[in-house]
Chains A and B, each alone.
Chain A
Amino acid sequence: MQPDDEIDSILDAMARGDSGAFMRIVEVHGLMLRSYIGAQVFNASDVDDLAQESFIAAYQSLHHYRRGGDFGAWLRGIARNKVLMFFRSSQRRAVATEKLRAEVADIVGEELDVQSAGDRHEAIAALLRCIAKLPEKLRRVVHSGLDGVKAPALAKVLGVSPGAVHQLHYRANQLLRECMAKGVLHE
């Protein structure tokens, strides 16, 4: 989370005409915002596109932000609207998977906001090191998931059932979250 005084100093710098100071906000909030959008939209290129649109909208409406407020929450609110507009596209609604994601995003929106409230750049960045600490099999499951390999295909490679792959993935995610939490505690 960005300290209020740092946000204030960035806003002050921007008020003096230093628009480049906004990139410091992007640096600190970029990972969090992309994670927040990615938990709804899934497709990586869509995520980056929406994150960029959100930052542009935030920059354009920065005068609406109240100093002393929760800047991350304000930014997520903007992103949330962008995601809603994204899913409103009739073309996307016509695709079954996108329709499901749109419905899911609608249902879990509140819960997602609650869970995202404590996100920190450092904790998310620590995931890279956390992945390395996973046992080989779990690491492979995580990488395969990120590479788009579906559970049945991975199950064949690992010689297990698709259900077992899901369990491995579930376990890997648990360990990663524990590792993230430890990383934050030890800072």
Chain B
Amino acid sequence: MSEEGLDSNELHELLAAWLGGEISEERRVVLLARLRRDGEFRAAFVTEVRTFAMLQAVQSPEPRWLRLQDELGLAGANESEAFESRVRVGLRSRPRPFVAAWWRPLAASAAAVAVIFAVLFFRRGPELPLPTGGDAQESRERLAVAVRLDDVRWDGAQEHPLLAGGSVAAGPLRISAGRLTLAYFSGVSVHVEGPADLVLVGPERILCRRGNLRAKIVEGAEGFTIETPGAAIVDLGTEFGVKVETNGRAQVVVYQGKAEASLLAPDGSPRRTQTLSAAQSVELDPGQGTMRSISPRELLAAPALDIAPLVLASDYPQRILAAKPRHYWRGTDAEGGRLRDLVTGSASLRVAGPVQTMSDGSLRFTDSGEPQYLRADGEWMPPDEFAIELWFASAAFHNSVLAVLQSAPPGRGDLVMAELTRRNPATPLRPGRVRFLYRWPPGGTDGVNLYSAPLYIPYRWQHLVCQRRGSVLEMYLDGQFVGETSLQGMEQTIASTLRFGRLNEDALSGNARQFQGRLAELAVYERALAVEEIRGHAGLE
């Protein structure tokens, strides 16, 4: 044992610094000196960083190895795949349109004040610094997913070109041409047109040296800020555009809602501010210190983001029925506002609200603002083993319910829930994940959580199985096992009602977690599915 002791504060201090925490030069020298001379300290440190690195590797999606495949001459390998498979993969990766805008003045104003306050404190001048030192603490934070790329040409200085469906970390983003759409974990969407030179600083802030941007902010993400050399545009619950030229001059237009544009003094304080409403536009010239109204025009059109039809093998329904589900509903079997259960033959799933049945058998949940859900008739007591299987494609990152089992009679709370999460500082939910929750006793809080290790990808069809196998909850996303957890003494059940797409049926609820996007192929089993079955249903075998 080392004389200095292994389980020491110095080990934690060095690990914290290695993970991106701040450290003084004096402490850096001291800790590195110990790392050199103390073999046991060195071994303990390596053990810890190796554990971190293994966890990071196993929790991250497998890289796509595209350059390697190019090198191996496998770039055209997909050409030999079956036509149906190619179509399925291609269609699943296509995106769909965003939802309509909205804003809430009071909350937005409060958020804007907070952001202006932050700008006052942290901004030092019109030069836009790259995140370094303290900023490097958040340099690895993943912020968004690239959901659409149109003819993007990456600037030579861009270290990590993005791929559609890939996550985007904080840091520089440079494109010389083309258009790129980012879906932030907070629900914010940002369209970028090149040439653009940006730094994604954090979940609520972009530094833009040059480029044409359009940002749409959703409830709970107010205060999103785009800073330019010498100016800042703060969202007040809106959709707005900013076009920044290399000389620092910027045009701002508000499409919906409100935003606040500010010219900044060298110390970062706003020296002139103007609140812009819908269809108002200004030109900011920090060099001249001027801000003038100009004729509003669309600086960057929002690209259409479509969820493509779900393409499955022609025998998919037969395969599901062969797995002997308790219920199986498809949008193709709708009659009189109900979906027919392909197992029992009865119309047992009531369609509430403007849910649209699509030609591919999926069900489209619109952005109408009205309650939309699918509720199963009767009650069901989920046994020790059960599985809920479905396909989903979400419109952006939302905190939204895919399926929920609520104890009967109504009002006693949730027993089981599968939902999608987004970044929301007001909740501790892991953002951008599928969350599988079991509560005992049923209620609105507490319970055992299981989060998918990988992120879900907006606008893309994904296959999901959430199931209980005795004392264990398991989750499979796109046929892959993505996590399990123990029920830890909560292995009890109760008669429940099953609903898809919304947490509750109350039109005035402020916590309805309304799903937006598409659901399809809803199946419920009174047993846990085998891995091979799940992979088969997901199209992996």
Enumerate chain A interface residues (CB-CB to B < 8 A): 19-20, 22-23, 26, 30-31, 34-40, 42-49, 51-52, 55-56, 59-60, 94-98, 100-101, 103-104, 107-108, 111-112, 115-116, 124-125, 127-129, 131-133, 136, 139, 142-143, 145-148, 150-151, 157, 163, 166-167, 170, 173, 176-177
Contact = CB atoms under 8 A, between A and B. Distances in A.
Nearest to B11: A170
Q: Is the interface of A mostly helix, strand, loop or mixed?
A: helix
B60 A35 contact: no
Nearest to B66: A52
B133 A96 contact: yes
B50 A112 contact: yes
Contacts of B51: 173, 176-177
Nearest to B12: A166
Contacts of A59: 68, 71-72
A128 B32 CA distance: 32
B319 interface: no
Interface in B1-48: 7, 9, 11-12, 14-21, 23, 28, 32, 35-36, 39, 42-43, 45-48
A38 B68 contact: no
Interface of B: 7, 9, 11-12, 14-21, 23, 28, 32, 35-36, 39, 42-43, 45-60, 62-63, 65, 67-69, 71-74, 77, 132-133, 136-142, 159-160, 169, 428, 430, 448-451, 453, 472, 481-486, 488
A133 to B, nearest CB: 7
B485 A132 contact: yes
A48 B483 contact: no
B483 A20 contact: no
A156 B47 CA distance: 27
10 contacts: A19-B72, A26-B65, A38-B56, A59-B68, A108-B45, A127-B54, A132-B450, A145-B52, A146-B55, A151-B21
Q: Ordered nearest first, which 6 A-B pairs have the shortest CB separation?
A: A38-B53, A166-B12, A39-B53, A34-B57, A48-B63, A148-B141
Given A150-B21, A157-B428, A48 B60 contact: yes
A170 B46 contact: no
Given A100-B23, A146-B59, A39 B49 contact: yes
Contacts of B55: 127, 131, 142, 146, 176
Contacts of B142: 44, 148
A105 to B, nearest CB: 10
Nearest to B23: A100
A102 to B, nearest CB: 11
Contacts of B72: 19-20, 22-23, 59
A49 B132 contact: no
Contacts of A111: 39, 42-43, 46
Contacts of B133: 95-97
B132 A95 contact: yes
Given A55-B68, A132-B486, A157-B428, A35 B53 contact: yes
B485 to A, nearest CB: 5
Contact of A98 (B74, B136, B449): B136
A176 to B, nearest CB: 6
Contact of B57 (A38, A55, A148, A163): A38
A5 B74 CA distance: 24
Given A30-B62, A55-B65, A43 B57 contact: no
A19 B74 contact: yes
Which residue, B7, B23, B485, has most C-beta atoms of chain A within 10 A?
A: B485
B31 to A, nearest CB: 9
A72 to B, nearest CB: 15
A163 B18 CA distance: 16
A131 B58 CA distance: 11
Contacts of B132: 94-96
